[in-house]
Structure 1
Amino acid sequence: MARRFDDTAGRLLLALAVFLHRTVAGGPARERWQLRRNEALRAANRHGVPVAELAARLGLSEGWVRQVLNGKRTPVIEEAA
């Protein structure tokens, strides 16, 4: 009985690991988070937060933040096969 429980628990943990890998750690997931971050940057800038403050808080260069605000930095999301 204990072996059966261990096997079931192991398979559930494997399913959890696969789920986390695909939703949190995968490349497309990271790109989705970057898209959300970039949208938040644009919204903050529209509400009057200066580029210098955005860059300082994020630890990014002002040039990079300007590229995001101008729409030049948009990661391409490829669909998984």
Structure 2
Amino acid sequence: MARTWEGVAGRLSLQLAVLLHRTVTGRAAKKRHQHWRDAALRAAHRRGVPVEVIASRTRLTQRRVRTVVTGGKPPPVDEAA
């Protein structure tokens, strides 16, 4: 009896792995997750969270965060003094 459940559990585990692989690691899923992440980053910035804090918490570069919060436009160039 235990061998039957092991086979079923194995097939269910495989189906779960396939589902996760297709929904989490696929190209479309990656773009969807990045879109959601970027929307959350923009919302946080609009509500007053500084770029430096967002970058440190998300482990993204400050340049990437600035690009996201400006809507895809490159961040303004900071001139050196």
Q: State TM-score, norm by structure 1.
A: 0.67
* Rg (Cα) greater in structure: 2
Hey, what's the Cα distance between the residues in 2 that align with 1:52 and 1:64?
Answer: 11
Hey, what's the Cα distance between the residues in 1 that align with 2:45 and 2:57?
Answer: 13
1:77 corresponds in structure 2 to none
1:17 corresponds in structure 2 to 17
| Percentage of pairs with the same residue | 52
User: Which letter does structure 1 place at the counterpart of 2:22?
Assistant: R
Unaligned runs of 5+ in 1: 74-81
Aligned-pair CA distance for 1:15: 2.1
Alignment root-mean-square deviation, CA: 2.3
Unaligned runs of 5+ in 2: 74-81
Residue correspondence of structure 1 range 1-81 to structure 2 within 5 A: 8-72=8-72
Q: State TM-score, norm by structure 2.
A: 0.67
User: Which letter does structure 2 place at the counterpart of 1:28?
Assistant: A
Q: 1:3 to 1:48 in 2, by over 3 A?
A: closer
2:77 corresponds in structure 1 to none
Deviates more, 1:39-48 or 1:25-34: 25-34
Hey, what's the Cα distance between the residues in 2 that align with 1:35 and 1:29?
Answer: 10
Aligned-pair CA distance for 1:27: 2.4
Deviates more, 1:7-16 or 1:23-32: 7-16
What is the DSSP-based 3-state SS (H/G/I as helix, E as strand, rest coil) of the residue aligned with 2:31? helix
